[in-house]
Amino acid sequence: MYGLKAFVGAQLPFPLYSAAYALVRESPRRRWRAAKMKQLGLEDWSVIDLSAYKRSDTLFVLGSGASINRITDRRLAAVARHDSVGWNFWVCHPLVPTLYLFEDVKVESSPVGTREWRIDVLDRLVDEMSRRSDYASVPKFLDELRPQERLLEEKLPLHFQQRLYAANTLMYPARSYHELRLTLRSLGVRGTFAAQTRLPTLPKVGFTLGTILSIAICLRYRRIILCGVDVTSPGYFYEDADRYPRMKAFRSSVAGSTHLSSQVLGLRCRFPDFVRALRDEVMIPLGIELFVESRTSGLYPEVPEAPESVFV
């Protein structure tokens, strides 16, 4: 399917292809999304005013890279004093974020090509959620509602069903930095990144992290620090069996492989290209600063290391 879309995309000028792609996806997506939300009893994330949860002009984005385990207690205390967003397996970490996103799991395919691997990820994630009653008051957004997949929500513990909303994202094709800038420029003209605390439909260019950055822009955080966004390594912080003994037998990365975010997959560009385009086209004009917590991130030095003053 991706091959066919990529072939068609190669035959059309990108602006025309991008508009047609979004149009073809949007109409049926609205219908099944509304039906599924009704079935699951979910409300759209636009009903919640996130200004009630914003305590700071600094947002820490909490990734899953192995560098999370190298963040000192002093720095984690600073993270806790500001706002933060975690996603998926961040629930393994003791720190409770301000906002949390997670995805349903696509059981019919996976990066390693086995159906069982993805089901194992789903079951492991739900098990970790069941242990986190401290997430009950955290706004939680279910990203990527899909009509054909196993319903993660059916297994969620009751405390995770509280303050649970359906994220509203729309996928856009972009295979290069240039195509990304064209897409983001068009979205900016349409007001997608306007200051707002009730979230609209936000673009997704293949990455949940991209959605999180779009949320941060709409909420007008002045400073965004990426933690555990390692990019170059497929390892995850929760694979440290000494720190997370319940995860000892679980592996979601593939030894020796390249992290998926650093690869071009179908119509999805490399994540470093997405970050660079979003920073250049949207963040810099708005005066939003972007940093990485550690210079071990594959985004460094293009994205600078956060100054020590952030953690004081």
- 209 to each of 14, 124, 202, 203, how far by Cα in Å? 24, 21, 12, 11
Average pLDDT score, the chain: 84
In a domain, 22, yes or no: no
- Residues in CB range of 127: below 8 A, 6 or more apart: 246
In a domain, 131, yes or no: yes
- In the chain, the number of structural domains is 1
In a domain, 241, yes or no: yes
pLDDT at 266 over 70: no
In a domain, 167, yes or no: yes
- At residue 152, the pLDDT reads 64
Least confident range from 42-51, 127-136, 270-279: namely 270-279
Number of H helices, E strands in the chain: 9, 10
Of 235 and 150, the structure prediction assigns the larger pLDDT to 235
The one-character DSSP state at 236 is B
- Residue 88 structure tokens: 């998926």
Give the three-state DSSP class for 54.
coil
pLDDT at 263 over 60: no
Which CATH number do you get for residue 180?
3.90.1480
Give the three-state DSSP class for 301.
coil
In a domain, 191, yes or no: yes
In a domain, 186, yes or no: yes
pLDDT at 9 over 50: no
- At residue 23, the pLDDT reads 74
Q: How far apart are the first and last CA of the chain?
A: 50
The torsion of the CA quartet 103, 228, 171, 278, rounded to 10 degrees, works out to: 150
In a domain, 24, yes or no: no
Task: Write out pLDDT tens, residues 158-172.
Answer: 899 999 999 998 888
In a domain, 15, yes or no: no
Look up the pTM and report it. 0.88
The mean pLDDT value for 228-250 works out to 88
* Domain housing 229: 29-311
E strand or H helix at 25: helix 14-40
Closest to 5 in 3D by CA, of 266, 271, 206, 269: 266
